[in-house]
Structure 1
């Protein structure tokens, strides 16, 4: 099997090249429409220029905070592309935080995991109450890493109420044999050490969500995670890797109900 092809999404999605500019435009429109008092952009959680998060606030007192971690194979994108996905949680009374992080090859995946832990910790200091984590693709890997013992401070870990890895990478070992590893610089030790399937089963609820029309490799990755953790699996009919996240921005969607329920 050509694993570089198995983990390639764009070539198998119609008009794939149109998605990033559409996401970026929708995100900019969302931010422009949200009153200034309800958006705090570029809050620092570390020293580098990309160690920043945007925080969107609901009307009234927040019920807690949803943290969304973006994907892009740890190599591209940033928080500003995904703002519109906050709409669903905001409508339900939750604050939403979206961090950026440094990208490979400037940092290793293990370093990004540490950055997201720092981001979640900083976000927890801004919004009281329960914390619900959602992440897509590489972001699904990153939120799945958060419940591991010692990753988050104990007081922050105790506030995690739900984790939703969406189309996650749960076993990084196949990526050792892909072209992208020229940028990721994974070795065997890090690939296993950073694989959520190698972690102890979390004590918090986990829902793994994946599109039915995704590449078989991503459906396998989702199944491996629920088998390792005995978590809930949702295979979303008619959804592929680029539109499987749309439910986050839709008030009352089944994805949002699962995350916030």
Structure 2
């Protein structure tokens, strides 16, 4: 059909960035070196092997909120060990950074991963401070899910604004298009599950903050998804903001997190400090 969207091409980020193996290798190398020089506190939020959080703490804590960074990988790849170095930028601003892993599909469903990240957020709530949740790709989806979670409905002892802000980098907020791609082979979603797990269809509380950021070199679908949630949630009282990162592809879009002088880190630090 003329004008039909090739969802397979739109969501195949590795094919769009053929140099991705070298990027992944650099992530692993830089993250390992960072952990060597900045050993994190490991926190368990469940009994599963991957239900762990690395908490990186600054020399001087200068923020009222911590930032939790949730990794991507289409809910089926990677873990926190690839992303430790991304804490560097915020640590320089006196902001704590938590980096969790989660159980991967097909061992669990996407909705189970959402619940795991809620458990991780509840574990971080023990530190008696709110969370700004940043996330990349599938992690951007999970960040939006945490922002739109009604925490009092889960546990009356939790603050209603446990997650007052989210910063989604190259996020996925509407999962139905993935049903037509090979990504779904391991996710195993049907239409009903894809819709239930799509935060763009949820009802966030007004007064929250969502930034949706996408690289200029990403596919049209990634641009559409970020613009769509900004428009949809903006109409529901969320303070939304769209930003395009010049020259960035799906995998290089997160690189500014490691740079204390980057605008991305400045924005996240401001959110964490309530500025």
Relative distance call for 1:27 and 1:149 in structure 2 (3 A) is closer
Residue 242 of structure 2 aligns with which residue? 233
Structure 2 length-normalised TM: 0.89
Q: Contact conserved, 2:170 with 2:213, CA < 8 A, in 1?
A: yes
Is 1:247 the equivalent of 2:256? yes
- Indicate conservation of the 8 Å contact 2:66/2:96, yes or no: yes
Cα distance between partner residues in 1 of 2:19 and 2:125? 38
Q: Give how far 1:49 is off.
A: 0.5
Separation in structure 2 between the aligned mates of residue 196 and residue 104 of structure 1, nearest angstrom: 19
Shift of 1:116: 0.3
Moved more, 84-93 or 218-227: 218-227
Which residue matches 2:188? Answer: 185
Deviations 1:2-24 (A, max 9, x none): 31221001222241211111100
Q: Residue 273 of structure 2 aligns with which residue?
A: none
CA contact (8 A) 2:149 2:204 kept: no
**Post-superposition CA distance 1:172-210 (Å, at most 9, x none):** 000111112121011111111111110124431111111
Residue 145 of structure 2: aligned partner:
145
Residues 132 and 67 of structure 1, relative CA distance in 2, 3 Å threshold: same
Q: Is 1:100 matched with 2:101?
A: yes
Contact 1:7 1:215 in 2 (8 A): yes
Asked if 2 retains the 8 angstrom alpha-carbon contact of 1:170 and 1:221, the reply is: yes
Give how far 1:244 is off.
Answer: 0.5
Paired residue for 1:53? 53
Once the 2 structures are TM-superposed, how far is the Cα of residue 153 of structure 1 from its aligned partner?
4.1
Q: Runs of 5+ in structure 2 lacking a partner?
A: 235-239, 271-275
Residue matched to 2:237: none
CA contact (8 A) 1:4 1:179 kept: yes
2:173–2:225 CA contact under 8 A, matched in 1:
yes
Per mean C-alpha deviation after superposition, the further-off stretch among 251-260 and 90-99 is: 251-260
Q: Which residue of 2 aligns with 1:215?
A: 219
Deviations for 1:17-65, whole angstroms, at most 9, x for unmatched residues?
111111000000001112x4xx213x21011111111011001335231
Aligned-partner Cα distance in 2 for 1:156–1:248 = 27
Unaligned runs of 5+ in 1: none
Matched, 1:158 2:167: no
Distance 1:201 1:45 in 2: 25
2:23 is paired with a residue whose SS is helix
Q: Write the distance in 1 (CA, Å) between the matches of 2:118 and 2:91.
A: 23
